[in-house]
């Protein structure tokens, strides 16, 4: 009895020791070797592109001002608000100077001591400040009724019409830019999240690379499509080095990769077969690879009908071989489905072949063992043994 307990205790100690050793080795590799070699990312985890353009000609820079609408939309909020305030204040002050010039030329200002029967171009403009206030009232159509244009000057009437038209243009452009900036689908993309790591394990008898993606809103993405690009440096047979060479990676779910029913978190997977760039990688050599897996999700926002794209990327340190994602969806007693985002990026270690080639070789060996061949020309003949030795 004591020997049996001792054997159980010894087995338990051995299992715990092996588990602790695996975790310690993983921590050491990630902590020291992973951080000592900083991976250059083209796409950050939140989808921003890490690229800059150098030696751009002056003509190319002028193109940004030709496409002023897109340029204004792409500006950051602090620059956009600066342009917004500057556009209105600048136009008000500019036309204020013009109204002051009209009053000065027509000698409507008090410094000219106009006569009692003198009819000014604009009533109650006494200086630059009152001219600015009249410009402000005209462009934003306030109209307090204290200052007004008279029929005395054709120049003032023309300037009133011109400022009214230009004010509508400025209001439409700037308010439209603010509204378009607020309603851009980039903010909707923030509510689409990917798992922190990608995992490699068996799924349906095949070795697959799996990624989990979730929609944090209850509104759906219509016509969702997901795909990937593997970025790596390759050398052609001619000796040309191609940096950021792109290889297509097909991701699917059980229902396909078109028109995803994105009501709950989905686990998308890429089958590692003979056509996959991951086919010749193994668990031991994965961390030594130099690649970046960029995953894209395109869809149409249900509420605004605007198309948005969500991006993220994974480097070799973020791809876990021999793990799968923990369950995340459950059903309550009331019959409702519950999503526990605490386990969204949580992984569980599972038994996995250490390379895709080994898995397929094992399958081929098993298939050959079960396979038999019939030879129709084979005839079994019995041979009688005779003793030809004579004494």
Among residues 269, 266, 270, 268, the alpha carbon closest in space to that of 329 is found at 266
* 77-86: pLDDT as tens digits: 899 999 999 9
CA dihedral 174, 180, 186, 192 (to 10 degrees): 140
Residue 263 has pLDDT above 60, yes or no: yes
**pLDDT for res 261:** 77
Which fold, 186-368? Immunoglobulin-like (2.60.40)
Which has the higher per-residue pLDDT, 29 or 265?
265
**pLDDT for res 90:** 95
CA pair distance 42, 227, nearest whole angstrom: 17
Q: Lowest-pLDDT range, 15-19, 66-70, 92-96, 284-288?
A: 15-19
> Is 0.75 topped by the overall pTM?
no
Let me know if 326 is exposed, middle or buried by CB neighbors in 10 A (0-12, 13-18, 19+).
Answer: middle
Average pLDDT over residues 352-366: 72
CA pair distance 148, 123, nearest whole angstrom: 5
Give the residue extent of every domain in the chain: 61-182, 186-368
DSSP state of 41: P
* 219-259: pLDDT as tens digits: 888 888 889 999 998 888 888 888 888 999 999 886 555 66
207 with 352: CB under 8 angstroms? yes
* 316-333: pLDDT as tens digits: 999 999 999 998 888 888
State which H helix or E strand residue 307 sits in: strand 307-314
CA pair distance 87, 74, nearest whole angstrom: 18
Residue 121 has pLDDT above 80, yes or no: yes
Q: What are the DSSP calls for 156-178, one per residue?
A: HHHHHHHHHHHHHHHHHHHHHHH
CA pair distance 41, 319, nearest whole angstrom: 15
Q: Lowest-pLDDT range, 52-66, 132-146, 229-243?
A: 52-66
231 with 249: CB under 8 angstroms? no
Residue 131 has pLDDT above 90, yes or no: yes
**What residue spans of the chain are helical by DSSP H?**
2-28, 35-36, 58-66, 68-74, 77-105, 128-139, 154-182, 186-189, 356-370
Please give the CATH number for the structural domain made up of 61-182.
Answer: 1.10.287.70
* 161-205: pLDDT as tens digits: 999 999 999 999 999 999 888 888 777 778 889 999 999 998 888
CA pair distance 327, 344, nearest whole angstrom: 8
């Amino acid at each position: 009895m004591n020997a049996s307990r001792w054997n159980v205790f010894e087995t338990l100690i051995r299992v715990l020791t092996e588990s602790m050793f695996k975790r310690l080795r993983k921590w050491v590799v990630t902590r020291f070797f992973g951080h000592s070699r900083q991976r250059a990312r083209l796409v950050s985890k939140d989808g921003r592109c890490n690229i800059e353009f150098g030696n751009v000609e002056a003509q190319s820079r002028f193109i940004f001002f030709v496409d002023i609408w897109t340029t204004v939309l792409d500006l950051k909020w602090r620059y956009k608000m600066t342009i917004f305030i500057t556009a209105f204040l600048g136009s008000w002050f500019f036309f204020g100077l013009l109204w002051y010039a009209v009053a000065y030329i027509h000698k409507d200002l008090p410094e000219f001591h106009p006569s009692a029967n003198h009819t000014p171009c604009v009533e109650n403009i006494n200086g630059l400040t009152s001219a600015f206030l009249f410009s402000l009232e005209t462009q934003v159509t306030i109209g307090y009724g204290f200052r007004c244009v008279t029929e005395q000057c054709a120049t003032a009437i023309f300037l009133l019409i011109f400022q009214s038209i230009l004010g509508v243009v400025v209001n439409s452009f700037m308010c439209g830019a603010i509204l378009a900036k607020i309603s851009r689908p980039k903010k909707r993309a923030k509510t689409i999240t990917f798992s922190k790591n990608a995992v490699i394990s068996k799924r349906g008898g095949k070795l697959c690379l799996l990624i989990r993606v979730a929609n944090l809103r209850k509104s759906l993405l219509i016509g969702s499509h997901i795909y990937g690009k593997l970025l790596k440096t390759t050398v052609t047979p001619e000796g040309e080095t191609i940096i950021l060479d792109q290889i297509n990676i097909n991701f699917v779910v059980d229902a396909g990769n078109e028109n995803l029913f994105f009501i709950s978190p989905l686990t998308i997977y890429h089958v590692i077969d003979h056509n996959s760039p991951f086919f010749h990688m193994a668990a031991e050599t994965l961390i030594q690879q130099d690649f970046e897996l960029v995953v894209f999700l395109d869809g149409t926002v249900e509420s605004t009908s605007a198309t948005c794209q969500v991006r993220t990327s994974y480097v070799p340190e973020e791809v876990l071989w021999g793990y799968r994602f923990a369950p995340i969806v459950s059903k309550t007693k009331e019959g409702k489905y519950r999503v526990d985002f605490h386990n969204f990026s949580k992984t569980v270690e599972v038994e996995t072949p250490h390379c895709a080639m080994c898995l397929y070789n094992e399958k081929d060996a098993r298939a050959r063992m079960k396979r038999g061949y019939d030879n129709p020309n084979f005839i079994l003949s019995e041979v009688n043994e005779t003793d030809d030795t004579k004494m």
